[in-house]
Amino acid sequence: MYKKLLCLTILVLAAGSISHSEGAVIFFEELFDDDNFVARGWYDGTVLRTTAEHIPGSISSAEFHFLQGATKPTNGGGVRKLFTESESVYISFYIKYSSNWTGSNQYYGMHEFHTLTNLNSAHSGLAYTHLTTYIEQNAGEPLLGIQDGDNIDESNIGVNLTNITEERSIAGCNGDSDGYGDGSCYLPGGGSVHWNGKRWEAGEVYFQDTPGPYYKNDWHFIEVFFKLNSIVNGKAVADGHLKYWYDGEPIIDNEDVMLRTGEYPTMKFNQYIAAPYMGEGSPIDQTFWVDNLTIADSRPIRGDTDNDGDVDFEDYTAFASAWLSEAGQGNWSLNYEISQPPNGTIDGIDLDAFAENWLVETPVYLLDNFELYTGTAVGDNPLTDTWDGTGATEDYYGLETFRVHTGDKSLRLLYDNSYSPYYCGVSRTEAPQDWTLGGTTEGLSLWYRGSPNIDEMYVRLTDSSDRETIVKYSDAWDTNDLLAEQWQKWSIALQRFIDNNGAFDMTAVKTIEIGVGDPVSPEIGVAGGGQLYLDDVWLYQK
């Protein structure tokens, strides 16, 4: 353990000064350490009950105790708290179930936690809204769900309206909006107004009955992230996020879902609700506990103790001050107990987790991930309206939906550098932008998938005064990398572009060009050419 800490110390001293980015925006944290919930903004229902059951280093937790036959826990109905409106929401908490926990023993499970949006009131019901999210588990299997019954077009029940109108529901009754099925559509209690529902399941039991890493009677760290999908030219794009981590392991991971239509471009998350409920009543007397709830706009970085967006010298100093401390001692903190689940000591397991993110690149500005384009022909948002062919490329580029790094789309470039001018590329020009982001940007990164005939790759930039600078793969990287038909990351420090043209203005970049070959000193390439795939072009910080 001491060798590990010494090695990291050497890395810290060698790193020098580090530029900072912004971390996750924490909307609120609830530690459940006392009963002053109303004073902290909780409302609607009775107060949460605290108990001596808690995670290491905590004082108490929230207890949800169901008596046999009860539909709600003994603390009463749901409790809520508003937070700053946001198009994304991250929710994390520790949870533990009693050893006899069975849940509802119904196929539809028991409801646990939810979010609502600004399109519904602060006291809105949950099952019939413009969007309700569900965080729960059934028979030990985690799941995420949604409902948007208030958006249903009652005159077109069972009709797929996805390509017809934005005035429709996305969780059921009006078709499959994102390829994850039609959802459910039903009339509750014999009524005349339809409700709906759609859910994503983990596929395995994670809260298990027997002792081990998945034992339900141990504390487990749960993280969930929802991000609303984009609206482009008044139409919804299936690029919303829906994610679930169990003790740091991603078990539901989708970035291509639809959570709203173009009818509601101003929709934002703004409300968290804890409302455990068993519609048929609890089959037995059973309990679960929740501790250290966090609501934020994005997933914090493990080891980023000061929440500035990176794991750097300041974080190391704080972490080292608590080295080998135990829960209850002065320097111990859950901020440093970052391995999951926590064991109550800041030790080598936590150091391994800390080192995973040491000085990692933090993407801060997305230049393009190609998800919002609809094609290369005339349409709502064709690729060719934004990207142009350069060199010998002409029209030999388009969207790729099979070979992608993330999401559903990448850019496919067909090249043959045996023809003049012996290089092929794609370029994008827009209003000049400050790529330094006020002096905080470290570099440019992109993901590429090569082919056996690539001998050179380049990125060329043009500023507002038409000055150019170019970085080639052969400048500092092994060109054998380009031959591999697998996704690889190319990270280029902005300083390299400046070194190649000292007059270049990195605060006024208007064109980026990415291609195969050498446009400065072109040479005849291998006959037959090949294909280059591009995805996830970002500016990053360290």
pLDDT value at 484 more than 70 = yes
Please say whether the dihedral angle defined by the alpha carbons of residues 491, 376, 405 and 22, taken in this order, is positive or negative: positive
Write the CA distances from 98 to 114, 178, 256, 287, integer angstroms. Answer: 22, 37, 35, 5
pLDDT value at 8 more than 70 = no
Distance between CA atoms of 385 and 83, rounded to whole angstroms? Answer: 39
The set of residues, in sequence order, having a beta carbon less than 8 Å from that of 6 and lying 6+ positions away, is none
The token duo for 421 is 């001018």
The token duo for 200 is 């994503």
pLDDT value at 20 more than 50 = no
What does the pLDDT average to over 262-275? 97
Beta pairing partners, 199: 145
With cut-offs at 50, 70 and 90, classify the pLDDT of residue 7. Answer: very low
pLDDT for 387 equals: 92
Please state at what angle helix 2-15 crosses helix 313-321, rounded to 10 degrees: 150
Phi, psi at residue 38, to the nearest 5°?
-60, -40
Domain(s) labelled CATH 2.60.120.430 in the chain stretch across: 364-541
pLDDT value at 9 more than 50 = no
Residue with tokens 């050498």: 518
Question: Superfamily assignment of 364-541 in CATH?
Answer: Galactose-binding lectin (2.60.120.430)
- Up-side HSE of residue 378: CA atoms within 13 Å toward CB? 0
Count the helix, strand and coil residues of the chain and give each as a percent rounded to the nearest 5: 10, 35, 50
pLDDT for 542 equals: 62
Q: What does the pLDDT look like over 395-437, one tens digit per residue?
A: 678 888 888 988 889 999 988 888 888 899 999 999 999 999 8
Phi, psi at residue 77, to the nearest 5°?
-75, -170
Q: What does the pLDDT look like over 290-302, one tens digit per residue?
A: 999 999 999 988 8
Indicate the range of 99-103, 130-134, 399-403, 498-502 predicted with least confidence: 399-403
Q: What does the pLDDT look like over 67-78, one tens digit per residue?
A: 999 999 998 878
Q: What does the pLDDT look like over 182-220, one tens digit per residue?
A: 999 999 988 899 999 999 999 999 999 999 999 999 999
CB 90 within 8 A of CB 297: yes
Query: pTM above 0.85?
Result: no
pLDDT for 5 equals: 45
Indicate the range of 50-59, 254-263, 508-517 predicted with least confidence: 50-59
Ranges of beta strands (E only) in 187-238 are: 195-201, 220-227, 231-232, 235-236
With cut-offs at 50, 70 and 90, classify the pLDDT of residue 384. Answer: confident
Which uninterrupted H or E stretch holds 13? helix 2-15
pLDDT for 22 equals: 54
Beta pairing partners, 241: 227
Q: Among residues of the chain, what percentage have pLDDT more than 90?
A: 60
Which uninterrupted H or E stretch holds 320? helix 313-321
Domain 24-88+96-296 has CATH 2.60.120.200: yes
pLDDT for 408 equals: 84
Of these ranges, 28-42, 113-127, 448-462, the one predicted with the greatest mean pLDDT is 113-127
With cut-offs at 50, 70 and 90, classify the pLDDT of residue 12. Answer: very low
Beta pairing partners, 222: 93, 246
CA angle 181, 404, 434 (to 5 degrees): 115
Instruction: Judge residue 521's burial from the number of C-beta atoms within 10 Å of its C-beta, 0-12 exposed, 13-18 middle, 19 or more buried.
Output: exposed
CB 242 within 8 A of CB 252: yes
pLDDT for 340 equals: 75
pLDDT for 378 equals: 45
Residue with tokens 């400048």: 475
Higher pLDDT, 359 or 1: 359
The token duo for 46 is 């009775």
With cut-offs at 50, 70 and 90, classify the pLDDT of residue 15. Answer: very low
Closest to 489 in 3D by CA, of 450, 431, 438: 450
Closest to 197 in 3D by CA, of 118, 270, 114: 114
Beta pairing partners, 472: 458
Q: Which amino acid is present at 258?
A: M
Longest dimension (CA), the chain: 80
Mean pLDDT of the chain: 88
CA angle 334, 309, 56 (to 5 degrees): 5
What does the pLDDT average to over 510-538? 88
Rg (CA), the chain: 26
What does the pLDDT average to over 497-501? 95
Domain(s) labelled CATH 2.60.120.200 in the chain stretch across: 24-88+96-296
Q: What does the pLDDT look like over 137-187, one tens digit per residue?
A: 999 999 999 999 999 999 999 999 999 999 999 999 999 999 999 999 999
Q: Among residues of the chain, what percentage have pLDDT more than 70?
A: 92
Coil, strand or helix at 11: helix
CB 233 within 8 A of CB 194: no
